[in-house]
Structure 1
Amino acid sequence: MKKRLRKKLQVGEFFVPAFTLEATLKELDDAEMDQLYDRFIELLQAQELRCYGGWCDEHLYMTISTGPVGHDNEERRLRFLESLGSLQEIVSFNASELG
């Protein structure tokens, strides 16, 4: 497979590990939700992670990318999940393995 196609399909040397995160949140008003959002982004930035997904009133569904292969991906994932446990607004969460 040509390099350009491998890059487009993110395979081989262009594979980017990621995991999914589902969380249940407490019922929050707008100001509390904004604060939670800001702290969540700070936790992601501290581990140099990227995310995309959905965030609604009491649920969070994200796919989180840990960066290129070989950059302590599993350790960064675990550090993020440990720090996520410190957010009291999150009732429960479930994260998949890296894939």
Structure 2
Amino acid sequence: MLNIYKSLIRPILTYGSSVLLHAEDKLWNRLQIAQNKSIRAALNIPHFVSTTYIHQITNIPYIRSYVTNLTERALTRSQQLEDTVTEQNLVSLLN
């Protein structure tokens, strides 16, 4: 079930989310709640179990740090491919 989450649900949560790096914390909290509920459903874990514990046992990062990491990796790829337009856009998102 966790592999299904990683392959089907997480991409939906993170698709295009690098443009949301400057969004309000309220939006990130909603995305985090959606991620937590998805992981709980995948593992059949009750609601009273700590989210910190869930992230530790599954080794799944919090959504905001995951999106930041994806954006940084995209920046590295654009620099390697010498794609200056994408690089400039990603640098502006990360700053």
Same fold (TM over 0.5): no
TM-score normalised to the size of structure 1? Answer: 0.30
Larger RCO of the pair (alpha carbons < 8 Å, separation 6+): 1
Which of the pair is proportionally richer in strand? 1
